[in-house]
Amino acid sequence: MDRRRKIQNIMIAAALLGIALAVAVAMSVNGLPGATENPNEADNKASDWVSATGSAIGAIGTAGALWLGAVTFRRQVRDQHRVQAAAITVSISQDPDQGKGAIVEVRNDSPFPIYTVILVASKPDKTVLRQEMQAAIPPRDNFPMKTLMMNNMSAYADFKDSSGTKWRRWFNGDLEER
């Protein structure tokens, strides 16, 4: 999880805990009969405190459940985005038309298009070949790049999924959210 999401989770938790504590304090202050100074109600003071404490614990528990629900929802959305990105592959294969050449290809096997694709191939000597595609790669389609490089080559593709999340897929299968 990146730093921004961690901060968002902490802020949500702090806000919910603050609301729960404010409700608990308001209930315990306003819900106590000691403010009426009626001697007949003095016997109920202990039971009112117990009731107010139970309500405060309930409010804190509710805030915790809301926070857990928000975190769970965020994870489900992130996992749905990752499913599309996981269906994108980058491969390096020998070019049948050229003896020493290679084809570096990004393939979209997801049911949704991907956008702003940048395909990058490099060798250990830092020779880099980069090709950018501004149009979308439709579902079940590919974007090939021919190169003369082949030995010890590395490649990756940067792209945006259908929800606008940026990803990097490496030819070895690694996937990174950007």
pLDDT tops 80 at residue 40:
no
Measured in degrees and rounded to the nearest 5, phi and psi for residue 49 equal: -65, -40
CA distance linking residue 153 with residue 136, whole number of Å: 26
pLDDT tens for 96-108 read 776 778 889 999 9
Are 23 and 71 within one domain?
yes
The model's pTM: 0.60
What is the pLDDT, as a whole number, of residue 157? 94
CA distance linking residue 11 with residue 17, whole number of Å: 10
Are 76 and 113 within one domain?
no
Q: 125: burial class by Cβ within 10 Å (0-12, 13-18, 19+)?
A: exposed
What is the pLDDT, as a whole number, of residue 28? 63
CA distance linking residue 17 with residue 14, whole number of Å: 5
Are 92 and 78 within one domain?
no
Are 73 and 105 within one domain?
no
Are 80 and 96 within one domain?
no
Are 124 and 53 within one domain?
no
The domain that holds 149 is classified in CATH as: 2.60.40.10
* Of 102 and 141, the one with more pLDDT: 141
pLDDT tops 70 at residue 125:
yes
The H or E element containing residue 20 is helix 3-30
pLDDT tops 80 at residue 41:
no
* Residue after which a domain boundary falls, among 84, 100, 130: 84
What is the pLDDT, as a whole number, of residue 23? 73
Q: How confident is the model at residue 13 (pLDDT cuts 50, 70, 90)?
A: confident
Q: Order of strands across the sheet with 88-94?
A: 88-94, 102-108, 141-147
Task: Give the number of domains in the chain.
Answer: 2
Are 97 and 54 within one domain?
no
Are 92 and 171 within one domain?
yes
**What 8-state DSSP symbol labels residue 99?**
S
pLDDT average, residue stretch 103-127: 90
Residue 147: closest CA among 127, 164, 167? 127
* Residue after which a domain boundary falls, among 59, 84, 109: 84
- Domain of residue 51 covers 3-84
User: What would the two tokens of residue 69 be?
Assistant: 């629900």
What is the pLDDT, as a whole number, of residue 139? 94
Are 52 and 121 within one domain?
no
Are 152 and 129 within one domain?
yes
pLDDT tops 70 at residue 36:
no
Residue with tokens 């997801």: 110
Total count of residues recorded for the chain: 178
* Residue after which a domain boundary falls, among 39, 61, 84: 84
pLDDT tops 60 at residue 121:
yes
Are 162 and 147 within one domain?
yes
CA atoms in the 13 A half-sphere facing the CB of 69: 7
pLDDT average, residue stretch 126-138: 85
pLDDT tens for 47-75 read 777 777 788 788 888 888 888 888 888 77
Residue with tokens 């038309």: 97
Are 16 and 79 within one domain?
yes
pLDDT tops 70 at residue 172:
yes
